[in-house]
Structure 1
């Protein structure tokens, strides 16, 4: 383990992260916020911490090994969450405990969107902007951003990219150089954010709300500048724009790049994962629309369709923006939506959950096992996009799924042990481990009513969900630390 190189990287990353506290200061200054000292103090504290880590080992260079990449990813996400919590803890407007500040920061960075804040409309603009900025940085993965910068500082990035990127196949690159791959993904991310911002502005959002909600939609985050979320605007055009960009953010960003480079939208439909992703959303929207109309939940069938499409897309992509309180919807719809979050977005997207590609592989593998009962000697392959999937990938997906269920159960039992009822515990863990943010029961509106233990516990769930379990769990194995 190259601990001095890891220390140098963490110092560099903290110094880079400290710069993200400057935009909220600028926003607050332009909008006349009386309270900015929390950001200035946070900036100097985080910058100083980074410098103190970096200075003693600044001359240490070398290529990261695989184990080093996993350790950097985990240490940085935990350390970054602690550092990002500083402005919240120093704020006179929030009166946060350490658990509250850490939970809110982790929720922002992991693009979960679960909040412990009430009275969001009355927050200083600088704090609201900072919450959205956390979303946007975490959306594509700040470490993926770092691999585009750190090579210039003498740090190799491939192992960081492997540890950070979501999905079962982590070695696929758009270009031969990992730095160029990271840059291309961020160009796509930035372009979609700008398009979303302009679309919001055209249909009537203020510049501030348009910037903030474009950050939230493209990161599939779920924070809003209003307690009522998107429902605050009561504007169907805003609803449909949000749907479009949540849907786009839940897709594989590599697919966006390939389609845009070739100028051929047929590329999307040729992808098995995209077809499954689209068909699941269509099917669930039809079911939800029918039940909302059947129980007269909305004023018209058109409203029922809009509400259904918005909430299905929001939960499926693990965004968590809302235009209605779906916890009071009829029949089994609230539970159906929570279960949908387990599927999540596509691999290589900003979405959370297990990922569509894994669910597709699980289904195809299940079908193969049933067919083998009738034809035990047959040679059958699981195929994606017409190509056989390596057996080691299929096995890893089964292992991931089993571990996901086991980890979910452990976290749910922990919340129940802290005194919460089963509905609250189940939905709270689903909201955090799936990075979706919307719950039922006592966490239907926000997570402020939970005990500090549950907030720390669910913060860990958010981080594990964002890093897809194994990146964290591998550090707990004795084999990882052996020479």
Structure 2
């Protein structure tokens, strides 16, 4: 293990992260709401800590190995999440306990979007901006991690891209070096953010709201600057813009690169995962709309279509914005939407869940097992698009799903032990582990009334979900620490 190199990278990350405390500071100086001191102190604490870690190891260099990558990946979210709580703890508005601040910071950085706060409309602009910025930074890290780093680590079948992706994506890279890959992804990510903010602004949002909501939309986060979320604006145009950018952010960012390079939409149409993702959204939308119309849940049928379209895309992509309270929708719809979060968005996107690609492989492996039962002597393969998927990848996906579900049920038992009722425990865990945000039961409006122990467990669930479970669980193995 190259500890010196790892600490050097961690120190650099903290020093860079300290800079992100300056924009909220400037915003508070503009609005004169009196929370600037918390950002000055958080900037200083984070910068000094990062420098203290970096200085002794600044000369350390060396090629990182796979196990180093796992450790850096876990440290990225856990350490930055811990330091991300500092402004929230030091600020008097809102006054937050340590568990609440940890929950809010990890929710933001993991792009979950669950919140313990109420009265969001009255919070200082600097705090509002900081929450949105946390999600945007987390989303940027996710894109690079998912497309450039995780495939090399072979996490849960993500190495499939080594064989599946053509051209510049061969061997897990958009370009020859990870640094160039990251630069390309960041440009696409920033470009989408700018276009989204402009679209919101032109549709009638104020500039502050447009920027803040563009951060959360592209990151598939779900934080809002208003208690009523996107529903605050009551605008079909804004909702349509949000639907488009949520759906686009749920697609593998590598496909965006290919589409831009070729100036054609064929990259999306040729990708089996993207087609399945769009088909899933359309199918759930059709079922949801039909149920709402049958039950006459809304006074006007067009409202059912409008709200169904928004909530299905918002929940299925694990964004978590809201225009209507889906927890009171009729029949099985609340649980149907929650179930879609287990699949989530595409691999290589900012979305959560187990990813569409893995769900496809699990289904196709199940179909292969049925064929083997009917034809014991037959030889059957599993294909993604036109390429055959190696059995090693299938085994990895099955392993990931097994660990994911065992972890889920283990955490649910612990949540039930904190006193939560079954509906609240299941929905909050599904929401946090799949990085969604909204939940049912006692957490329908917000998570603030949950016990502190439950908030800590759910914070862990957010990080587990964001790190694809394996990245954190592997650190608990004694074999990981052996040389």
Question: Which whole-Å CA distance do the structure 2 matches of 1:477 and 1:285 have between them?
Answer: 42
Name the CA shift for 1:144/1:163 in 2 (closer, same or farther; >3 Å): farther
Q: Distance in 2 between matches of 1:358 and 1:33?
A: 47
The more displaced of 243-252 and 305-314 is: 305-314
Shift of 1:159: 5.7
* 1:342-399 alpha-carbon deviations (Å, 9 max, x no partner): 0100000000000000000111111111111122222211111111011111111111
Q: Which runs of 5+ in 2 are unaligned?
A: 163-171
Residue 322 (structure 2) aligns with: 322
Determine the C-alpha separation between the residues in 2 that align with 1:267 and 1:398. 28
Q: CA deviation at 1:167?
A: 6.5
**1:392 has 2:392 as partner:** yes
Task: Tell me the residue number matched to 2:289.
Answer: 289
In structure 1, the partner of 2:168 is none
Q: Tell me if the contact between 1:143 and 1:160 (Cα under 8 Å) persists in the aligned partners.
A: no
Match of 2:248 in 1: 248
Name the structure 1 match of 2:165. none
In structure 2, distance between residues paired with 1:322 and 1:309 = 11
Q: Is the 8 A contact 1:433 1:462 kept in 2?
A: yes
- Give the Cα separation in 2 of the matches to 1:159 and 1:196: 27
Correspondence for 2:278:
278
Match of 1:380? 380
1:153 maps to what in 2? none
Q: Is the 8 A contact 1:165 1:348 kept in 2?
A: no
How far is 1:164 from its partner? 11
Encode CA deviations 1:99-137: one digit per residue, 9 max, x unaligned.
Answer: 111110000000000001011000000000000000001
Equivalent residue number for residue 150 of structure 1: none
Task: Provide the C-alpha distance between the structure 1 equivalents of 2:28 and 2:342, rounded to a whole number of angstroms.
Answer: 37
Distance 1:334 1:195 in 2: 32
Query: Shift of residue 31 of structure 1?
Result: 2.5
Q: Go from structure 1 to structure 2 and tell me whether the alpha carbon gap of 1:309 and 1:143 turns closer, same or farther (over 3 Å shift).
A: closer
Q: How far apart are residue 143 of structure 1 and its match?
A: 8.9
How far 1:76 sits from its partner (Å)? 2.6
1:174-212 alpha-carbon deviations (Å, 9 max, x no partner): 112111111111111111111111110111000000000
Please state whether the residue corresponding to 2:135 is helix, strand or coil.
Answer: helix
Residues 144-167 of structure 1: CA deviation (Å, up to 9, x unaligned): 38x9xxxxxxxxx97688469997
Aligned equivalent of 2:335: 335
Q: Quick one: distance in 2 between partners of 1:261 and 1:220?
A: 24
Paired residue for 1:154? Answer: none
Q: Decide whether the 8 Å contact of 1:221 with 1:319 is kept in 2.
A: yes
2:148–2:173 CA contact under 8 A, matched in 1: no
Instruction: Give the match for residue 60 of structure 1.
Output: 60
Match of 2:139 in 1: 139
Distance 2:70 2:126 in 1: 33
2:158 is the counterpart of 1:168 = yes
Q: Does 1:115 align with 2:115?
A: yes
User: Would you say the 8 A contact 1:167–1:355 is kept in 2?
Assistant: no
Conserved 8 A contact 1:415-1:454: yes
* Change beyond 3 A, Cα 1:126–1:165: farther
- Is there any run of 5+ residues in structure 1 with no aligned partner, and where? 148-156
Correspondence 1:154-303 to 2 at 5 A:
162=152, 168-169=158-159, 172-303=172-303
Contact 1:72 1:160 in 2 (8 A): no
Who is 2:98 aligned against? 98
Residue of structure 2 in register with 1:472 after alignment: 472
Task: State how far apart, in whole Å, the 1-side matches of 2:480 and 2:80 are.
Answer: 23
RMSD: 1.8
Change (3 A) 1:179 1:166: farther
**Residue 117 of structure 1 aligns to a residue in which SS?**
coil
> Separation in 1 of the partners of 2:105 and 2:254?
28
Are the equivalent residues in 1 in contact too, given 2:223–2:321 (CA < 8 A)?
yes
Aligned to 2:357: 357
Per-residue CA shift, 1:222-263, capped at 9, x if unaligned? 000000101100001011110000000100000011011101
Partners of 1:166 and 1:369 in 2: how far apart? 20
Tell me if the contact between 1:139 and 1:218 (Cα under 8 Å) persists in the aligned partners.
yes
**Greater shift in the superposed pair: 395-404 or 26-35:** 26-35
Q: Is the 8 A contact 1:39 1:87 kept in 2?
A: yes
The DSSP-based 3-state class of the residue aligned with 2:20 is helix
In the alignment, is residue 40 of structure 1 matched against residue 30 of structure 2? no
The answer to whether the Cα contact below 8 Å between 1:167 and 1:348 also exists between their aligned partners in 2 is no
Is the contact made by 2:115 and 2:446 (CA closer than 8 Å) also made in structure 1? yes
Aligned-pair distance for 1:301?
2.3
Contact persistence 1:276–1:356 (CA under 8 A): yes
The 3 A distance-change label for structure 1 pair 207 and 166 is farther
- 3-state DSSP class of the match of 1:223? coil
TM value normalised by structure 2: 0.95
With normalisation by structure 1, the TM-score equals 0.95
Q: 1:167 to 1:440 in 2, by over 3 A?
A: farther
Q: Distance in 2 between matches of 1:472 and 1:13?
A: 19
1:124 aligns with 2:114: no
Report if the CA contact (8 A) 2:150-2:158 is conserved: no
Further displaced range: 51-60 or 433-442: 51-60
1:160 and 1:355 mapped to 2: Cα distance?
13
In structure 1, distance between residues paired with 2:466 and 2:277: 20
1:313 aligns with 2:313: yes
Distance 1:343 1:2 in 2: 35
Instruction: Render the CA deviation track for 1:428-478: whole Å, top value 9, x for unaligned.
Output: 100110001110000111110111111111111100100000100111111
